[in-house]
Chains A and B, each alone.
Chain A
Amino acid sequence: GENVEQHPSTLSVQEGDSAVIKCTYSDSASNYFPWYKQELGKRPQLIIDIRSNVGEKKDQRIAVTLNKTAKHFSLHITETQPEDSAVYFCAARGLDNDMRFGAGTRLTVKP
């Protein structure tokens, strides 16, 4: 089955700086890679996703890149703001529609 690893587990940046979170996956058949943001005490919410036929996707300050050959994908947040502070999860879904999550990254943006 799929195995997803996520790094780093914690990340602290100054407001305005960029933050990068990286994930690797094991199943080369995986073809969909969403990212979720979970604020304290709330449910995970989808913030951006990418499919295997796309190398990069951007939505305002958030971007995701995918390297299928190396089996890794990354979340990039530019011009970080305190409200970006949360736990971020990457995930990979294979052809059987089964989703596997990374262990999460706690991002802290210092004002």
Chain B
Amino acid sequence: EAQVTQNPRYLITVTGKKLTVTCSQNMNHEYMSWYRQDPGLGLRQIYYSMNVEVTDKGDVPEGYKVSRKEKRNFPLILESPSPNQTSLYFCASSPQLLPPEAGAFFGQGTRLTVV
């Protein structure tokens, strides 16, 4: 079954304690991205990746890191989480076709609380 898998689904952590949210897709998609969702702000892009070893900043990259060592995985790293990073996070992937043929497939979401 085609899917994007995020882990963990829920996480409560303390300020400053490094954490990683994993994202994996089994569709051989080139493009992967991370979004955070906050009430009234919709989905804001954090980072995206066009392919292996290629990453770029989105709209709100401050406080986050990503890596793309393999095509299927795109982890989101918070080196020193702060309470303003409390949010719902979504990973997404899509095939990189020009013109684009398909929208993004989303993971289940990770609800992060930083206290």
Residues of A within 8 A of B (CB): 6, 9, 31-32, 34, 36, 42-46, 49, 51-52, 89, 91, 93, 95, 97-104
Size bracket of the B interface? 20 to 34
Measured between beta carbons, the chain B residues less than 8 angstroms from A45 are 106
B106 near A44 (CB under 8 angstroms)? yes
Q: Please provide the 7 A-B residue pairs with the shortest distance between their CB atoms, ordered closest to farther.
A: A34-B103, A103-B42, A101-B43, A46-B103, A43-B106, A32-B100, A104-B42
Determine which residue in B40, B48, B104 has the highest number of CB atoms from chain A within 10 A of its CB, and name it.
B104
Q: A32: which of B40, B48, B56, B99 is its contact (CB, 8 Å)?
A: B99
A-B contact pairs, 15 of them (CB 8 A): A6-B42, A31-B100, A32-B99, A42-B109, A43-B90, A46-B102, A51-B99, A89-B42, A97-B96, A98-B45, A99-B92, A101-B35, A101-B42, A103-B41, A104-B42
